[in-house]
């Protein structure tokens, strides 16, 4: 049985500029805000209209393409089953107060090298979820080759900094199932939206209800960074993110043979964390 991820044990894996509540206490350092207040334009994503709506009501709403949100993608009973199965595996310490489980190939993104050996596939618990994903038009043909489970805990100050996922190995759609608690996915654009007269950073809050599924693609995948901020983690949160292959690893691509090997292993659904 894996150690309880909610035990708040005083250990972390933060490196560089990364911080969590554990290392901040150990190093007697709090997160330091910039001396000069930062101007940020805040919007809220409306899944019904697909618009980013200005929070203070002063700005103009704008279309926010590339987000698909489905509430209640899994049931309460399925959530219990998934969390029970996930917690049977070992959680590894990760950056910024997170813990993780990886089901995917070993990858060196800087050298652009991927190693098939050691990869045993996605976990058995995910097979029925992937089949259900295929029922959504936005996920037609989705064949995940990697799954990453992340554990967020407010006692550890868990968060993930704004970032863009790799696009050399990983393909168009990023799919995440949000479990155990509601949270907010923050999309951000550092350079603003000059076409709307917004020169400073723009943030769009995408609310993720418990047991929902969210898909990022298009501009939300390649142009906007995404993050989970510490203040948006109120209770334990576990998410499973699934990634598909890029065109380079699909039929007709330069590394199609490697891609075929990876997919064959991934979709056996016999995986254990690497």
Residue 24 lies in a domain: no
- Structural domain for 162, as ranges: 39-266
Indicate the pLDDT class of residue 115, thresholds 50, 70 and 90.
very high
Residue 192 lies in a domain: yes
Residue 100 lies in a domain: yes
Residue 272 lies in a domain: no
- The secondary structure of the chain, three-state, reads CCCCCCCCCCCCCCCCCCCCHHHHHHCCCCCCCCCCCCCEEEEEEECCCCEEEECCCCCCCEECCCEEEECCCCCHHHHHHHHHHHHCCCCEECHHHCEEEEECCEEECCCCEEECCCCCCCCHHHHHHHHHHCCCHHHCCCCEEEEEEEEECHHHCCCEEEECCCCCCEEEEEEEEEECCCEEEEEEECCCEHHHCECCEEEEEEEECCCCEEEECHHHHHCCEEEECHHHCCCCEEEEEEEEECHHHCCCCCCHHHHHHHHHHHCCCCCCCC
Check which CATH number belongs to the domain holding 58 and give it: 2.60.120.590
Residue 46 lies in a domain: yes
Count the domains in the chain. Answer: 1
pLDDT in tens, 192-233: 999 889 999 999 999 999 999 999 999 999 999 999 999 999
pTM of this structure: 0.89
pLDDT in tens, 122-158: 999 999 999 999 999 999 999 999 999 999 999 999 9
């Amino acid at each position: 049985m894996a150690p309880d991820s909610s035990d708040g044990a005083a250990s972390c894996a933060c490196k560089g500029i990364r911080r969590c509540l554990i290392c901040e206490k150990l190093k007697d350092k709090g997160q330091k805000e910039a001396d000069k207040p930062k101007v940020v334009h805040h919007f809220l994503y409306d899944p019904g209209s697909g618009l980013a709506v200005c929070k203070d009501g002063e700005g103009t709403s704008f279309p926010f393409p590339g987000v698909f949100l489905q509430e209640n993608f899994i049931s309460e009973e399925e959530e219990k089953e998934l969390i029970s199965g996930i917690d049977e595996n070992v959680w590894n310490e990760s950056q910024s107060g997170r813990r993780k489980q990886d089901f995917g190939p070993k990858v060196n993104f800087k050298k652009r090298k991927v190693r098939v050996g050691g990869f045993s596939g996605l976990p058995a618990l995910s097979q029925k979820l992937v089949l259900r994903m295929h029922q959504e038009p936005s996920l037609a043909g989705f064949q995940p080759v990697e799954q990453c489970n992340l554990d967020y805990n407010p006692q550890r100050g868990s968060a993930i900094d704004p970032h863009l996922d790799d696009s050399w190995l990983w393909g168009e759609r990023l799919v995440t199932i949000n479990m155990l608690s509601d949270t907010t996915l923050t999309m951000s654009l550092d350079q603003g939206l000059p076409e709307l007269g917004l020169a400073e950073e723009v943030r769009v809050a995408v609310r993720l209800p418990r047991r929902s599924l969210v898909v990022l693609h298009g501009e939300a995948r390649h142009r906007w960074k995404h993050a989970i901020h510490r203040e948006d983690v109120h209770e334990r949160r576990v998410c499973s993110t699934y990634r598909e292959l890029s065109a380079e690893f699909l039929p007709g691509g330069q590394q199609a043979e490697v891609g075929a090997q990876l997919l064959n292993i991934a979709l056996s659904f016999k995986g254990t964390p690497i």
